[in-house]
């Protein structure tokens, strides 16, 4: 699968480099044209950056977008009730990031509570990393946990992992396909790769290894054409 990404900050669509607000590369006031362009892909990835960073939320805008296109939604889902609320809106899957970890460890209590209410088929766990370590809270804090050390323990609580290679996020310098291939070899769950994917060849290689792609900057900067991506679906 290929998932175009819409990241929201302060009510606007943005693209950041390595998740840093000061490194904002793209800012759009309207999402409507994007929805039209992304409709053929079926489902998009929608991230509330303000909620992820603990600086408010864009819930009202998310409600509007979810009515217009199928979405996987993440960013600041720290309560089971919030997860339920999003699914009640019609969200396809929820993306759990920081809440899966606490005090440098996996938060099994939260994940167990979540699984009692939300089926694992509806849950994606984000294992975002910098230099191989899982990072949380908008990629600002390292857990010191290695991605390959936690993926198997997290596997029972979700149906999919969103693995963002933050080292190259938004930089349009290519990604580390071998990193994602290694993760895929460690789990039976689906893997969606994100972070630095810049070329159609990378998308193809990931697809050949049964790994989905979440694409942001490469689409917005027109490094990869949407029509070329649609041929891969």
Q: What is the pLDDT of residue 134?
A: 95
Q: Annotated catalytic sites, by residue?
A: 7, 128
Q: Strand ranges (DSSP E) for the chain?
A: 2-9, 12-17, 20-28, 43-48, 70-74, 93-96, 101-102, 105-106, 123-126, 129-130, 133-136, 141-146, 160-164, 190-194, 212-215
CATH number, domain containing residue 152: 3.20.20.70
Q: What is the pLDDT of residue 55?
A: 87
Structure tokens at 169: 């996020």
Is 47:7 a contact under the CB 8 Å cutoff?
Answer: yes
Is the pLDDT reported for residue 68 higher than 80?
Answer: yes
Cα dist from 107 to 23, 102, 232, whole Å: 31, 5, 37
- The contacts of residue 80 (CB under 8 Å, 6+ apart) are 110, 113, 114, 117, 118
Q: What is the pLDDT of residue 150?
A: 96
Domain span at residue 77? 2-230
Give the total number of structural domains in the chain: 1
Q: What is the pLDDT of residue 180?
A: 97
Mean pLDDT of 69-95: 95
């Amino acid at each position: 699968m290929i998932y175009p990404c819409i990241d929201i900050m302060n009510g606007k669509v943005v693209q950041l480099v390595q998740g840093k607000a000061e490194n904002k590369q793209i800012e759009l006031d309207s999402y409507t044209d994007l929805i039209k362009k992304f409709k053929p892909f079926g489902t998009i990835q929608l991230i509330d950056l303000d909620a992820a960073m603990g600086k408010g939320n864009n819930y009202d805008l998310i409600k509007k977008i979810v009515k217009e296109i199928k979405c996987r939604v993440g960013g600041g889902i720290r309560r089971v009730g919030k997860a339920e609320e999003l699914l009640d809106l019609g969200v396809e899957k929820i993306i759990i990031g920081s809440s899966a970890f606490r005090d440098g460890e996996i938060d099994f209590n939260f994940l167990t509570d979540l699984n009692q209410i939300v089926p694992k088929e509806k849950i994606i766990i984000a294992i975002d990393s910098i230099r191989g370590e899982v990072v949380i809270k908008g990629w600002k804090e390292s857990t010191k946990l290695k991605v390959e050390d936690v993926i198997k323990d997290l596997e029972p609580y979700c149906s999919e992992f969103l693995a963002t290679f933050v080292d190259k996020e938004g930089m349009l310098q290519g990604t580390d396909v071998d990193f994602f291939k290694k993760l895929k070899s460690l789990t039976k769950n689906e893997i969606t790769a994100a972070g630095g994917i810049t070329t159609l060849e990378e998308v193809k290689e990931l697809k050949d290894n049964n790994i989905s792609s979440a694409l942001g900057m490469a689409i917005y900067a027109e490094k990869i054409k949407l029509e070329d991506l649609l041929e891969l679906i």
